[in-house]
């Protein structure tokens, strides 16, 4: 018997002795540590999840309370009531028209931002010209100005050209943020796509436009979806521009309509109606994110491993 055989026999006897004494083999101990570590990660994620959803849960619960019970601290409303939702869609609030206005503004802003953003991102990521980085930096810098800083100049400009109480008075300022966001996201995504695909398409007889439309654009679908959803959410939630440019209740958006809800008396705040309207405004965004969550993740992580 060789020395290596003796060492192997001693190792086997030690493993058997350890199992007979009730202790786990050394190879299984890190597995237990990894299990506790994974439990701690899940617990932390659960706390973050609860912290993020707590405001929405309380808004939902408050919207289902009666007006007399709006200040109760119970976790569930008792009894359940839909009177706040009925008041929200009362004809005096014009909240249904406000939702339609928000959809028009957000949808139009998203469409224009995507069309302009796709072509601008293609030019920056695929074409060779000087100062590309500078241009991209200037584009993203234009979105860093807070909305309140441009309200007064825009109000003066739109008053002179007769744009007050019009949809374009909300769409054009929204584009000042939406287009830089679209260009930045789509440029980063298109840079991760291989150039060989376009070259192969043009070798097969496609023009540059056909290669862009038939090859590059379908591959950029995850980035386009992500940019569209982010742009739509921002335009849907925009408040300060819509509040400043619109005085006509027929044109105002849902966020402005919520801020102008009034109670039965001058000193009464309609908390229940505002909570119900907040739930109605938030639910479409939640449904959209849940439906397209896979594409959102694909678009945000595209190119990270290349």
Task: Count up the domains in the chain and report the number.
Answer: 2
φ, ψ for residue 57, nearest 5 deg: -65, -45
Going by pLDDT thresholds of 50, 70 and 90, the confidence category of residue 16 is very low
SS3 109: helix
Question: What is the distance between the alpha carbons of residues 299 and 306, in angstroms, rounded to a whole number?
Answer: 14
Domain termination residue (choose one: 63, 84, 105)? 84
Residue 303 has pLDDT above 90, yes or no: no
Residues 149 and 179 in one domain: yes
Tokens 């028009």 belong to residue: 104
pTM, two decimals, is 0.78
Residue 7 has pLDDT above 50, yes or no: no
User: CB of 81 within 8 A of CB of 65?
Assistant: yes
* pLDDT for 34: 59
What does the block give as tokens for 66? 């009666």
Residue bearing the bigger pLDDT, 186 or 306? 186
Domain termination residue (choose one: 31, 58, 84)? 84
Question: What is the distance between the alpha carbons of residues 111 and 226, in angstroms, rounded to a whole number?
Answer: 13
Percent of residues, the chain, with pLDDT higher than 90: 27
Residues 275 and 249 in one domain: yes
Q: Which domain holds residue 218?
A: 85-301
Tokens 């930045």 belong to residue: 184
Q: For 184-204, how does the pLDDT look when each residue is reduced to its tens digit (9 = 90+)? A: 888 888 888 888 888 888 888
Among 198, 207, 179, residue whose Cα is nearest residue 121: 179
Residues 161 and 220 in one domain: yes
What does the block give as tokens for 17? 């002795």
Question: What is the distance between the alpha carbons of residues 227 and 114, in angstroms, rounded to a whole number?
Answer: 8
Residues 130 and 189 in one domain: yes
* pLDDT for 161: 94
Asked whether residue 9 is domain-assigned, the answer is: no
User: CB of 125 within 8 A of CB of 190?
Assistant: yes
Radius of gyration of the chain, Cα coordinates, nearest whole angstrom: 29
């Amino acid at each position: 018997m060789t020395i290596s055989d003796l060492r192997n026999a001693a190792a086997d006897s030690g493993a058997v002795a350890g199992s007979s004494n009730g202790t786990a083999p050394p190879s299984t101990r890190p597995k237990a540590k990894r299990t506790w570590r994974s439990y701690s990660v899940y617990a932390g994620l659960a706390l973050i999840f609860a912290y993020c959803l707590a405001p929405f849960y309380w808004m939902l619960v408050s919207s289902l309370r009666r007006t007399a019970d709006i200040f109760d601290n119970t976790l569930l409303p008792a009894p359940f009531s839909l009177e706040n939702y009925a008041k929200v869609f009362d004809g005096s609030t014009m909240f249904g028209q406000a939702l339609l206005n928000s959809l028009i503004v957000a949808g139009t802003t998203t469409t224009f931002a995507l069309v302009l953003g796709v072509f601008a991102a293609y030019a920056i990521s695929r074409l060779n010209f000087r100062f590309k980085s500078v241009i991209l930096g200037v584009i993203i810098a234009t979105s860093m100005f807070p909305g309140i800083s441009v309200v007064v100049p825009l109000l003066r400009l739109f008053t002179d050209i007769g744009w007050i109480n019009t949809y374009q008075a909300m769409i054009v300022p929204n584009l000042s943020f939406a287009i830089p966001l679209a260009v930045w996201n789509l440029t980063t995504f298109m840079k991760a796509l291989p150039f060989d695909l376009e070259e192969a398409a043009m070798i097969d007889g496609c023009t540059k436009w056909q290669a862009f439309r038939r090859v590059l654009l379908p591959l950029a679908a995850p980035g386009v979806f992500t940019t569209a959803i982010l742009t739509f959410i921002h335009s849907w939630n925009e408040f300060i521009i819509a509040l400043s440019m619109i005085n006509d209740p027929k044109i105002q958006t849902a966020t402005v309509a919520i801020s102008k809800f009034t109670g039965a008396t001058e000193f009464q705040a309609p908390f229940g109606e505002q909570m119900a309207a907040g739930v109605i405004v938030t639910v479409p965004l939640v449904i959209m994110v849940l439906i397209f969550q896979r594409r959102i993740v694909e678009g945000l992580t595209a190119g990270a491993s290349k």
